[in-house]
Amino acid sequence: MSDYETVVIGGGAAGIVAAISAKRKGAGVLLCEKNPSLGRKILASGSGRCNLLNKDLSEKYYNAGAKILVKSIFAKFGRERIKEFFKELGLELYAEEGRIFPITNQAASVLRVLEIELKRSSVAVEFNFEVVDIKASGNGFTVVSKSRKNISCNKIIITGGGKSYPALGSDGSCYRFARQFGHTIIEPVPSAVPIVAKDRLCHFLQGQKIFANAKGVIEGKVINEAGGEVLFTKYGLSGTAILDISRDLSVALNRHPKKEASLLVDMAPSITKDEFKKELTRKLNRGIPCEDTLTGILPNKFKLAMEDLLKQKDLNGIINSAKEKIFKVLGTRGWNEAEFTSGGIAVNEVKESTLESKLKKGLYFAGEILDVDGERGGYNLAWAWASGFVAGLMQ
């Protein structure tokens, strides 16, 4: 006789919801978490506010290879079902530019209502339980902890996450369990991550934030673009616009390191080239020194950053540098600065309607451990809630 019907490995967003879902189906559930507390990444999400969903939730916001799977899961547990789930737990929500947050603006509120539901449902939780092995045994499994504790179960849901923010417990250690049962791991790379670029502009503008339009370019071809904040750093570029286009650049550079990549940034998107030139010429005609003509159009630091062009009164050079600045991309920052993981268990190796492994009966996956990653804006947490709930149904 098994100790539990179901063991959930990983006490993050997907794991907690999977445990709740499985318990509601009447299963005896154990939730195993290697940290001394649950949901550490939930607490860090949305800068502590927890952007847990988006009003416009569909498969189009996810990586190409995962769209069919995501659509199938959202058909079972989509936007309205997720909202109803949290409403039932007592969490009030509100929308801000399409992004959905708890009314308290505290990620701690989201985690707390989930913890209350785990306790109310009598879900067993083992903290400091680091799984080191999973063995198939008869019609079920045996889960082995680092302290050599053995727990038998009929079904397993692995929700151990990807590799982003390893300090919070998501370090990719659960990929090896999937490999044990023959699953393919698409090489994980950082996503929603700052970009490394060596350019004198980054040096002079270090710490400066601007609103800009940024395009990702791979081997001369524009592959995506976004508008938003761009932050100049000592190592390159960050900010919302950069994070939003970083995925494809990261895949190109980290999985295929020989590819050439760059960023094409319009640092003055509110003005056209013609308007820009007319304004600079107007200021010069009024007797304003050329080195001061950028004032009011770009932050004051640009005076030093473009000093040579300004001294030469090279209006076309100034305008092109501001409107079509090319930064050669050398790489990305690491896992400690990545919001998400791109890569993971190949999605064609799980059943689209249940998330059960096609290779091992009774083995399920949910959350970021699968090769599913969405855009910023609540899409990745939405996937965690939805995939966790559906995996917990164990149909």
Query: pLDDT by residue (tens digit) across 138-156?
Result: 889 999 999 999 999 999 9
* Integer Cα distance of 248 and 235 in angstroms: 19
Helix H or strand E encompassing 85: helix 79-88
Q: What are the backbone angles phi and psi of residue 280, rounded to the nearest 5°? A: -65, -40
Global pTM reads: 0.94
Query: pLDDT by residue (tens digit) across 282-308?
Result: 999 999 999 999 999 999 999 989 999
Say if residue 281 is in the same domain as residue 352: no
Give the count of alpha carbons within 13 A of 13, CB side only: 29
Residue 1 has what pLDDT?
62
Say if residue 41 is in the same domain as residue 129: yes
Q: How confident is the model at residue 316 (pLDDT cuts 50, 70, 90)?
A: very high
Q: Which of 289, 309, 332 is the last residue of a domain?
A: 332
* Integer Cα distance of 269 and 385 in angstroms: 37
pLDDT, average across residues 318-339:
95
Q: Which of 282, 304, 332 is the last residue of a domain?
A: 332
Nearest CA to 33 among 125, 118, 119, 163?
Answer: 125
Residue 24 has pLDDT above 70, yes or no: yes
Structure tokens at 270: 């509110």
Say if residue 126 is in the same domain as residue 264: no
Residue 34 has what pLDDT?
94
Report the relative pairing of strands 363-365 and 150-158 from DSSP bridges: parallel
Say if residue 323 is in the same domain as residue 356: no
Give the count of alpha carbons within 13 A of 81, CB side only: 16
Query: pLDDT by residue (tens digit) across 195-210?
Result: 999 899 999 999 999 9
- Angle ∠(69,71,77) on CA atoms, nearest 5: 105
Instruction: Centre a 10 Å sphere on the Cβ of residue 230 and count the other Cβ atoms it contains.
Output: 24
What CATH number corresponds to the domain at position 153? 3.50.50.60
Say if residue 313 is in the same domain as residue 355: no
Amino acid (one-letter) located at 143: V
Percent pLDDT > 90 in the chain is: 92
Say if residue 162 is in the same domain as residue 29: yes
Q: How does the average pLDDT of the chain come out, rounded?
A: 95
Residue 318 has what pLDDT?
95
Residue 395 has what pLDDT?
80
Range of the structural domain that residue 179 is part of? 4-188+341-393
Say if residue 200 is in the same domain as residue 275: yes
Query: pLDDT by residue (tens digit) across 242-254?
Result: 999 999 999 999 9
Say if residue 99 is in the same domain as residue 153: yes
Cβ–Cβ under 8 Å, residues 113 and 121: no
Say if residue 182 is in the same domain as residue 199: no
What's the structural domain count of the chain?
2
Say if residue 203 is in the same domain as residue 300: yes
Say if residue 324 is in the same domain as residue 358: no
Say if residue 51 is in the same domain as residue 132: yes
